[in-house]
Amino acid sequence: MKLHAFLIASSLFLNGLAWAGSSDGTHKPMHGGVLTTVKDIDYELVASPTTLRLYVRDHGRVVDLSKASARLTLLTGTEKQEVDLKPNRDRLEATGAFKLSGGTIVAAVISSGGKQSTARFVLK
């Protein structure tokens, strides 16, 4: 009887290890940007000198951003620039002239449904 209980307990334990070790690989940039994850939400920032795009995914699924907004603070050397992003299909976006370089730090405050979240990026 003890052997039977031991085998059941062992199989349950090993099954739990296999489950914990599985990964679906969703934590990768899908649009060529810089990715950061905060509380299981993936934020991907795609930055160019004329366009800033922020994509948001929750466990690999695209988040509805139709009623969301974001405010980015760009820190490049000693210069600081603030930018508001507005919904554009599956992302938040702004166009304009942005001073970006390797090492630019971007702080994002995202507002959606009365809730706010923050994310931090370092551009390459």
Domain residue ranges of the chain, discontinuous segments joined by +: 25-122
Closest CA to 41 of 64, 58, 24: 58
pLDDT at 81: 97
Residue 75 scores a pLDDT above 60: yes
Segment 99-105 mean pLDDT: 94
* pLDDT in the model for residue 68: 97
CATH number of 25-122: 2.60.40
Q: What's the pLDDT tens digit per position in 13-37?
A: 545 444 444 345 557 888 999 999 9
Q: What is the pLDDT of residue 18?
A: 43
Closest to 80 (Cα-Cα) out of 104, 48, 51: 104
Whether 123 shows a pLDDT value over 50: the answer reads: yes
What pLDDT, on the 0 to 100 scale, is given for residue 17? 43
CA-to-CA distance for 106 and 123, rounded, in angstroms? Answer: 8
Check pLDDT > 90 for residue 58.
Answer: yes
pLDDT at 8: 57
pLDDT > 80? residue 7: no
For residue 91, CA distances in Å to 59, 110, 124 come to 16, 12, 21
